[in-house]
Amino acid sequence: MLKKIILCLLTPLLMGGCVSGKEAAMQKIQSLKDAYADYFLIGNIVSGVDMDDLRYNILTTHHNIATAENAMKPQYLQGTKGVFTFYDADAIVNKALSRGLNVHGHTLAWHQQSPAWMNYEGVSREEAVINLTTHAKTVAAHFKGRVVSWDVLNEAIADNPSNTEDWKANLRQSPWFKAVGADYVEIVFKAAREADPDAKLYYNDYNLDNPNKASVVYNMVKDINERNPDVVGRPLIDGVGMQGHYSSHTSPANVENSLQRFISLGVEVSITELDVQCGEEGKQTDAQKVAQGITYAALFNVFKKYAENIGRVTMWGLDDGSSWRRQACPTMFNDNLHPKPAFFAALDPDKFITENGASIEKKEAKQAEAVYGTPDLADAAAWSQAPAISIDSYLMAWQGASGTAKVLWDESNLYVLVNVNNAEMNKANQNTYEQDSVEIFIDENNGKTPYYEKDDAQYRVNFDNEATFNPQSAAEGFESRTTVSGRSYTVSLKIPFRTIDVKRGGIIGFDVQINGASSRGARQSVAVWNDLSGGSYQDTSGLGILKLTKR
């Protein structure tokens, strides 16, 4: 009885009312799916927590396509070889269909959330191929006629690729790749097409607003479709899914550039996992709510512009409380299922920007000084004349490793010394950015572009003096040295100037980032000097400014 009373009280909200205050409570909120009925499908994820009437009413009011958050991933459907367990996934799919929702399947193959028996180290290629195709065919056939599209393969491309022309060289060194080889990509798509010829088949990945990673995916899809132009009446890969795990600092221009690139292939594009981080510890200030709304508005304006080629825009979480990124408050509804400014921004982007755009002040880049001098990397005292730069602005909720940096320069090189404190000294994760490490970002012409130009580079060195570069060509002439003491370590770097003449000094774009790993080997903190976007690895517009001076 109590649940029924609560439901009755909340019905105005669920159907579109109750924003705030007495007047707003009487106002009917337009359905998001209705607002975009002439553009594309509006989606969200569904898990067990969403199956009650309260949450499902919001889901069906504002969305017309659903994606199972976890229930259709390999480990949940075939944890034991040959034993398929469809109960939970069937429950999600059948309820969605009964409430008038379309269903998108996620995912047939992935390096995460897959049982080890499928592609364990030492398995023969023949057995791994059988495991891959058997799973894909069985699952796709089971949901045939109930699922309109599939993420056939998820996140197969490595981060920060350099030679973007060779897509096979940029495949993630995943268990599937090691067990089968690069052709596992085609193999799983062909298995899915054979099992369900009518379903649209997608390749899905994150960070596709990164132009380098987008180029690799472009080349992969182009190559595979050119070699497979007629697989049951059409090219093998029907679409590209751009995971939209963004922040309020994301560049809509980067998103638009990648959209244009994929559309030029003649495939459908979908925004598959949209959320926008803008908060800390599960809380948002009023300014953060508006900033988040501005980002949602700008993104939806881009999506509307290319609607003819976009199949769906799927949010990754109904509300902040149930989001996988709950600490950063990334969704359109708060913990109490009340619509946030982000909802109204998506509903009417132009109106939201007109009413709120002026309230967002552009943050000026921090400036620091690099003093003229040529130090010995082994002598920390050589940097004594350089002023310290604090690396202590956190991008994640956890406040872990932080530190200071000092910078010197001469006609050939930039020299950086970074002292890091409160580090776990963990490099267990195969993802280098999730190891305890220091990153330096350089924009030699201070172009502040939303993508990397030939003068831009990223240098990463972990506490054990293992370096990685973006682009790889930036490694030429680079040197580094590390020393460790307890939970602190020091990194000294020599970074050659690659495109500019600095005999008289000048300014460059510059930033420092400290990645803090947990004892379990996952990145739990990110501290930076200036760029709070988290996108310095692909976008130089948020970097600080470094003045090269002679005293």
Residue found by looking up tokens 């990685």 in the block: 468
Q: Is residue 272 part of a domain?
A: no
Residue 431 and residue 468 share a domain: yes
Residue 197 and residue 92 share a domain: yes
Residue 438 and residue 517 share a domain: yes
CATH code, domain with 384: 2.60.40.1190
Residue 105 and residue 53 share a domain: no
Residue 332 and residue 346 share a domain: yes
Residue 191 and residue 142 share a domain: yes
Residue 333 and residue 409 share a domain: no
Please give the Cα distance from 513 to 420 (Å, whole number). 10
CATH code, domain with 117: 3.20.20.80
Residue 516 and residue 486 share a domain: yes
Its pTM stands at 0.76
- Does the pLDDT of residue 91 top 80, yes or no? yes
Q: Is residue 316 part of a domain?
A: yes
The H-assigned helical ranges of 36-73 are 53-62
Angle at 243 between CA 277 and CA 68, to 5 degrees: 95
**pLDDT digit string, tens, across residues 16-66:** 333 333 233 324 789 999 999 999 999 999 988 888 888 999 999 999 999
Share of the chain above pLDDT 90, in %: 73
Angle at 158 between CA 156 and CA 164, to 5 degrees: 105
Please give the Cα distance from 551 to 545 (Å, whole number). 18
* Domain final position from 243, 266, 295: 243
Residue 55 and residue 70 share a domain: no
- Does the pLDDT of residue 449 top 70, yes or no? yes
* 275 SS3 class: strand
- pLDDT-based confidence at residue 381 (cuts at 50, 70, 90): confident
Residue 159 and residue 87 share a domain: yes
Instruction: Name the residue among 368, 367, 490 with its Cα closest to residue 437.
Output: 490
Q: Is residue 261 part of a domain?
A: no
Q: Is residue 255 part of a domain?
A: no
Residue 511 and residue 375 share a domain: yes
Task: Note down the domain range covering 133.
Answer: 64-243
What integer pLDDT is reported at residue 360 of this predicted model? Answer: 61
Active site residues: 155, 205, 273
Please give the Cα distance from 308 to 244 (Å, whole number). 19
What integer pLDDT is reported at residue 233 of this predicted model? Answer: 94
Instruction: Name the residue among 248, 238, 243 with its Cα closest to residue 206.
Output: 243
**pLDDT digit string, tens, across residues 110-138:** 998 999 999 999 999 999 999 999 999 99
Instruction: Name the residue among 395, 307, 304 with its Cα closest to residue 345.
Output: 304
Please give the Cα distance from 393 to 117 (Å, whole number). 42
Q: C-alpha 250: how far from its chain's center?
A: 10
How many structural domains are present in the chain?
3
Q: Is residue 205 part of a domain?
A: yes
Residue 424 and residue 528 share a domain: yes
